Structure 1
Amino acid sequence: MPVDFTAIDFETANASSSSACSVGLVKVVDGKVVDTLYRLIKPPFGHDEFNEWNVRIHGITPAMVAGADEWPAVFAELREFAGDDWFVAHNAGFDMGVLKSITSTVGLPVPDHRYLCSLQVARKTYHLDSYRLPVAAMAAGFEDFSHHNALDDAQACAAIVVHAAARHEAGDLERLAKITQVRVGAIGPVAVREQRNLHGPMALN
């Protein structure tokens, strides 16, 4: 189905949500991948210690990001790449948390984006023993990728959402969310506005 969105995936240096050390982006237009972006990131000072466990998972070392751009430069590229797209991510709470945290840490405004979690969509689309990204991606016909490479993971996530949209005959992400009964998330000022409308202004005090 002709869905439009940007898939996003972060890898982090440690347990801090502000320690992003790489990001992968995949732009989907009319259900097809039209562009990709991968960047290594030098984590902000105070969030730049690399945990051995994280390095073991994604293979990114301090030496690899020593000459990489810091988040403000990468963020500018992300904003231009994604535009006003909805984001999709597998376990989106993590990736949206990283985006919000590192952006706030460097003193930039968190951008307005709605988002959908491909993990939750997969749970409502496939009958699997596990909904981890490699398993869910395989169900969508996307195999043999390097899990925990941010770009490969974003491509796998995109494949899941495109496949699920076709399976549910959903022409956009809002329709896909409604059919699968998956909550649409939001970050940035739009999230604040929606929270205020839902709970009233006193809820934010």
Structure 2
Amino acid sequence: MDSFVALDFETANRERSSVCSIGLVFVEDRHIVDHYYRLIRPLPNFYSYYNTAVHGLTASDTAEASTFAEAWREIHPRLGDLPIVAHNSSFDEGCLRAVLAAYGLPLHTNPFYCTCRQSRRLFPELPNHRLETVSQHVGYHLANHHHALADAEACAYIALEVFRDLP
């Protein structure tokens, strides 16, 4: 796969629609060509202690942020029909489906690929297949885990390795 978008969401609570940040890394012809990061006012708009402990974001960080619907107007045209990759894609695709549904927006039709699932196939010798472990294995240092843009960038580097043979 030579061109794709790596995606990562962070959520405010256990509701998949509670996206509070998004990171996107655009890859064309196997080169990173652009980054996108945005804080999002979550829906529902509350933060659980656990989620904040993971990513550090709080209600005050997103109080003045755009809604996902506003951000989607920017993001959707840039995605086009590019494949989307995510590490543990069931979470990120689930968030995308939930937040689009919450705002009454049409569901996406882009194909989704999972770098975690593919890394399990290609690197069975790893002790685990968490994002930080796999990114280190492919030579990428993940410095700020659970920041949506940092995680999306790590995912992009992993995808460049694990989906090398996909058209």
Q: CA deviation at 1:77?
A: 1.6
* Corresponding residue for residue 155 of structure 1: 153
Distance change in 2, residues 1:165/1:102 (3 Å): closer
Counterparts of 2:102 and 2:37, CA distance in 1: 21
Q: SS of 2:71's equivalent?
A: helix
CA RMSD in angstroms, aligned pairs only: 1.1
Counterparts of 2:56 and 2:15, CA distance in 1: 17
Counterparts of 1:158 and 1:144, CA distance in 2: 12
Q: CA deviation at 1:82?
A: 1.3
State the AA in 2 paired with 1:12. Answer: T
* Corresponding residue for residue 131 of structure 1: 129
Counterparts of 1:144 and 1:107, CA distance in 2: 35
8 Å contact from structure 2 (residues 135, 142) kept in 1: no
Residue 34 in structure 1 maps to residue 38 in structure 2: no
Q: CA deviation at 1:99?
A: 0.3
Residue 78 in structure 1 maps to residue 53 in structure 2: no
Q: CA deviation at 1:171?
A: 4.8
* Corresponding residue for residue 42 of structure 2: 43
Q: CA deviation at 1:112?
A: 1.0
* Corresponding residue for residue 4 of structure 1: 3
8 Å contact from structure 2 (residues 142, 150) kept in 1: no
Deviations 1:142-174 (A, max 9, x none): 1142110000000001101102234xxx152xx
Deviations 1:118-156 (A, max 9, x none): 001111111200100000001111114211000000000
8 Å contact from structure 2 (residues 24, 37) kept in 1: yes
Unaligned runs of 5+ in 1: 173-205
Q: CA deviation at 1:80?
A: 2.1
Residue 143 in structure 1 maps to residue 150 in structure 2: no
Considering Cα pairs closer than 8 Å and 6+ residues apart, tell me whether 1 or 2 has the greater RCO: 2
Q: CA deviation at 1:81?
A: 2.1
Deviations 1:15-42 (A, max 9, x none): 0011000000001111110001000000
Residue 64 in structure 1 maps to residue 86 in structure 2: no
Q: Based on CA coordinates, which of the two structures has the bigger radius of gyration?
A: 1
Unaligned runs of 5+ in 2: none
Q: CA deviation at 1:57?
A: 0.5
Structure with a larger share of its residues in helix: 1
Q: SS of 2:46's equivalent?
A: coil
Give the TM-score normalised by structure 1. Answer: 0.78
* Corresponding residue for residue 84 of structure 2: 87
8 Å contact from structure 2 (residues 4, 85) kept in 1: yes
State the AA in 2 paired with 1:56. Answer: A
- Structure 1 stretch 139-148 or stretch 152-161: which is displaced more? 139-148
Q: SS of 1:35's equivalent?
A: strand
Counterparts of 1:84 and 1:18, CA distance in 2: 22
* Corresponding residue for residue 23 of structure 2: 24
State the AA in 2 paired with 1:13. Answer: A
* Corresponding residue for residue 203 of structure 1: none
